[in-house]
Amino acid sequence: MAKKIIFQKCHFDNIYFLFYIIITFIDLLIDDNIFPSDEEIEEINKKENVKLKENNFYLPTKILLTLYISNISDFLAIIPHLIRKKLLKRKNENISNIKTEDNKTTDEQNLIYNDYNISVTNKKKKTVLSCIIFIGILDFVEKFFLILYNIIYSEKEFDSYTFSCIVPFEIICQFICSYIILKIQFYKLQYFSLFLNLGIFIIILIIDIYNILKRPKFNWKIYFFYLLNIISYSIEYSLGKKIFLYGYISIYLLIIFKGSFALILTLLFSLIMLFVNKVIFSRIGFFFTKTKYILLIIAKIFSSFFSSIFTWLIIDRFSPNYFPLSLLFFELCTFVIDVIHDSKYFSINGWDLYIRMFLYLISFIGVMMHNEIVVINICNLGSDTKYFLDLQVESDEIFAKTDNPEIMKRYESEIEIELETDIGNSKENQGVLN
């Protein structure tokens, strides 16, 4: 083919990526405004006659936002679940239940295989149930890892730093989890994308380490907690897609179930924390004493709910390997905002900002290549892609049906070239053996 770069057709479901990015920005704004100001902390100090610092609110805020609010938001999925259930019921009522005698006869004949079909179905249902329980555990664990860091280093003041190597690591981890759990086949283009993102991860990691060494207050140990968090939800997304492929459960029911299992672990965690450190809950109670924070908490519940919905919609309609596209696009948007407003919020506005933007853009193209949204027809990279395989099938069908001598000659010449190539290769192999 003459084309070296082929773009696949855009799908309507791509709008979920846009919705996810918008809701993530809203999430970011809520998180930025929900943390108590210096004046409010000083007010608490005077009222309770204590000497609280800003870092005394890190853990309570993290528990409230990451664990409680996120867990509560999962149960909002019961609303779209009931709506979907009602629509499906109405649709089923409109389907005629009248069967012909031939269909009845066919059903009777198929009764021989019913025992086998039931056993297979029951086995799949058990697999789905075990996956849901494991997803609920992972949902709690991934959030707990970020909280655990604040529990261990609750009294330590540290400098914030947005290390961008996390996103390339998310991409690599998601690709590997999909490969192992979903048995997604990797071809030349997928391996090229994987190693491309691995190289980008190493480059940005070196930049991050250089910047971290210049920040004495930055606690580099947070890296390990983030790595565990990323691995947990990468496995969670792949298992979720596996459940959707079985077709026994909707995304809304999955969110409700995983929220239920995560709630049990959240209550157990809260009970332990009640004996270990009661002060945390009084700090959490502060957020319910002011109207501003109550409204922000309500907004956070809905934003977390929609963020979860759009995440699982992307995984359901596409695959977990598509989700990094939204992460990369969001990161690129934050970089642009950082440049426009010259803000220090993301702690990346320096000599390396444009390097990061360029590498993220390359990574974005790499993820699109991995998912065959963009097919690169260079050095035979796209030979195993669905696009080229479909073209081959169409070409074979044309050859089988055509009576046009010109088309037949063209295919015959191609076959002769292939035969000559195979004969030449076999002769070379024989020469090597001799």
pTM: 0.78
User: Which tens digits make up the pLDDT trace of 188-202?
Assistant: 888 888 999 999 999
Identity of the highest mean pLDDT range in 63-67, 222-226, 298-302: 298-302
Burial label for 340, CB within 10 Å (0-12, 13-18, 19+), is exposed
Q: Is 401 helix (H, G, I), strand (E, B) or coil?
A: helix
Domain boundaries, the chain: 12-93+115-157+247-317, 388-433
Q: Of 351, 349, 357, nearest to 328 (Cα)?
A: 357
Looking at residue 383, its pLDDT comes to 61
Q: What is the pLDDT of residue 432?
A: 40
Longest dimension (CA), the chain: 96
From the CB of residue 367, how many other CB atoms can be counted at a distance below 10 Å?
Answer: 24
The 3-state DSSP class for residue 124 equals helix
**Of 323 and 394, the one with more pLDDT:** 323
How far apart, in whole angstroms, are the C-alpha atoms of residue 167 and residue 197?
Answer: 10
pLDDT of residue 121: 67
For residue 369, which of 1, 5, 3, 113 has the smallest C-alpha distance?
A: 5
How many percent of the chain have pLDDT more than 70?
Answer: 70
Tell me: pLDDT of 117 over 70: no
Beta-ladder partners of 375: 6
Instruction: Give pLDDT, residue 302.
Output: 94
- Segment 390-429, tens digit of pLDDT: 555 555 555 555 555 555 555 555 544 444 445 455 544 4
C-alpha separations of 255 from 63, 86, 122 in Å: 20, 18, 22
Structure tokens at 271: 């009970």
DSSP state of 322: G
Give the confidence band of 369 by pLDDT, cuts at 50, 70, 90. confident
